[in-house]
Amino acid sequence: MTTENNLSENEEKKNSTEVPQEETSENTASHDEIPHEEDAEHFEEQVSADITLPDALKEMENIINSANAGENFKTFNLLKEKASHYIHDEVEDKKHEYVEAGNAPENFSYEHPSQAKFSALINIFREKHDSFQKKLEEEQKKNLEHRQSIIERLKNLYTNSEPGTNLFKSIREIKEDWSKAGQVPKSEFRILNNNYFHHLNQFYQMLDLNKEFLEQEYSHNLEKRQHIIARAKELENEPVIQKALNELQYLHKLWKEEAEPVAEEFREKTWEEFKEISNKIHERKSELSAAIEAEQNTNLEKKNQIIAEIGKLSAPSETPNHNYWQNAIRKVEDLRSEFLKTGSVPRKLSNQNWNDFKTTLRGFNTHKNSYYKSLKGSQQTNLEDKLKLIQTAKDNVNNEDWDIAVPLFKKLQEDWKKVGHVPKSMTNKIWDEFRDACNAFFNNYREKSNASTDNWKENYKHKKDLLDELKTVTNEEGSIERIEAIKTAWNNIGKVPRDKISINTEFNKTLREKLKLNKINELELKEEGLSENQLTDKARKIKSQIADLEAEIVKLENNLAFFNKPSRENPLLRDTFNTIDEKKAHLETLRQNLHNIIAGES
């Protein structure tokens, strides 16, 4: 069995210079090419910058409820700082509003609704983290002892190996145990790690004399390197750049711990190939930075737009009222949530952007508070207006002229809604008075309406008789006079039950058929018994038809002007002249009917 004691002095020097050179060159370069832990931390910080206060508290709660709560110190701390920042700003906003309302700053007292939960989460995590640290220290102590025992096994492998020992199998087991051994205290790691590689190098120097084992080791390590290179090539096309950088870091760790040494003819070649691929992947880090920068600039534009929108709501172009400010408050709350949900902005502009947001938000609150201060003066005027509405309602509560009283009370209710706020101490009192007056009127209206149901049934019978009579009218002489008489009688009949109201539609349809049969327009009918509203509606319709007829006559007369000396004797123009005469006659009839309505003769 060949051992370290059998090595010549020259062979020792040769081996002691070859392996460490490769190790030094590869390890040094690999640390330059791979992403550092700071990149992962920076990425985590970017993510946490987008979180809202409720989400931050929820994530903190999720962490302390997880099995490995104590391990997530950095994440918890980032969330804690974010939540603390939000709570502090919201308390400052409340203080600002308190002072703006004219109160003394020293009298301000406010506890954020999330403060108790926030403090409890911190205390619970602190206990779990302390427990984790104690457990970690114990584990690291055991791991230190375990790694020291591995080093002893490695040392014994090349100094005191018994004949027949399978060096290849033994070194594989030692290296595998070393890779699986847990963390040790940071203060011990460097010395421990250097000690391990020192003895590993010593083993390889000893192994150099045993060509059979050395070739096996070289072949195994070369295969490891080829697998690592193949995986690194795949990472060149990995779409998630951060994932590629993180895995590349792991591949460099494998290269150092499990893929060395190899035969000299492959040593530099494989390393250069791996290093070249690493450089290509590392160059993609600029893509990640560019993508993050582009996203952050987009977020900055969104946040600045939100700030501008809040600024516009703070200074409306027209004089704002209560409804405006209530809607604006809801919009600002939505904008505030959107601002907090929008991702991070460039670090150098982050503080300025946040300060602009808080300043604009405070400006909105200042304008809103100023408005509601001014309302205190106008509330007295509003109270007087509502008292007038109450008095009008009380004066008409027993009015049974339903055509006038019902619209009046509906208008009173609409006017009540339009009048602004009144002093809080009077709000319920005056509303009860107004509501009681309205309820008393409408209760009386419903009772009297129910009492008139019998009359309505009688009205329906009369209207049914008139409808049946109208259906018998033809186009014989005297039919128009019959239609006018029926229509006048119909107008003088009152309301019918609600479930029979369709008779009105049927009557109007039949009336139009009979008027068409007798070639007469409804507006030319002479009828009596129309209500004021019906007369007004009829006059409006006549005016509209007069305007249409006048326009048609002007158009026809303009058409005649295109002919040279137009005459009724011209066969082409005879029908046009006749049409103009008919329309003028119809126009004159309508004008006379309109005059009669205005003069009160129809």
The mean of the pLDDT values for the chain is: 79
Round to whole Å and give the CA distance between 50 and 16: 53
Q: In the 8-state DSSP scheme, what is residue 567?
A: -
* pLDDT surpassing 80 at residue 598: no
| 217-254 tens-digit pLDDT | 788 888 888 898 898 888 888 888 788 888 888 888 88
Q: What is the structure's pLDDT at 227?
A: 92
Q: What is the structure's pLDDT at 458?
A: 82
Show the DSSP H helices in 284-346 as ranges. 285-314, 322-341
Q: What is the structure's pLDDT at 25?
A: 36
Minimum mean pLDDT range among 87-91, 407-411, 460-464, 514-518 = 514-518
Q: What is the structure's pLDDT at 505?
A: 86
Distance of CA 105 to the CA centre of its chain: 36
Q: What is the structure's pLDDT at 527?
A: 65
Cβ-contact 42, 103 below 8 angstroms:
no
* pLDDT surpassing 70 at residue 349: yes
* pLDDT surpassing 70 at residue 347: yes
Helix axes 241-258, 167-180, angle to 10 degrees: 140
Q: Per the structure block, which two tokens stand in for 101?
A: 């309302």
Give residue for tokens 């479930």. 499
Residue 164 sits at φ, ψ, to 5 deg, of 90, -5
Q: What is the structure's pLDDT at 5?
A: 29
Q: What is the structure's pLDDT at 32?
A: 34
Q: Cα–Cα distances in Å, from 155 out to 150, 184, 198, 242?
A: 9, 20, 10, 39
Q: In the 8-state DSSP scheme, what is residue 106?
A: G
pTM tops 0.75: no
* pLDDT surpassing 70 at residue 382: yes
**In terms of pLDDT, which residue wins out, 53 or 164?**
53
Q: Per the structure block, which two tokens stand in for 126?
A: 């602190």
Q: Mean of the pLDDT values across residues 282-307?
A: 83
The percent of residues in the chain predicted with pLDDT above 70, rounded, is 86
**In terms of pLDDT, which residue wins out, 179 or 5?**
179
- How is the chain split into domains, by residue range? 293-379
Q: What is the structure's pLDDT at 281?
A: 83
Q: Computed from CA positions of residues 486, 488, 492, 497, in that sequence, does the dihedral angle turn out positive or negative?
A: positive
* pLDDT surpassing 50 at residue 94: yes
Degrees to nearest 5, angle at CA 262 with 259 and 267: 100
| 8-49 tens-digit pLDDT | 223 333 333 333 333 333 333 333 333 334 444 444 544 445
pLDDT band at residue 163, thresholds of 50, 70 and 90?
Answer: low
Minimum mean pLDDT range among 178-182, 247-251, 287-291, 508-512 = 287-291
* pLDDT surpassing 70 at residue 563: yes
Degrees to nearest 5, angle at CA 439 with 434 and 440: 100
* pLDDT surpassing 80 at residue 168: no
Helix and strand numbers (H, E) in the chain are 20, 0
The percent of residues in the chain predicted with pLDDT above 90, rounded, is 1
| 323-333 tens-digit pLDDT | 888 888 888 88
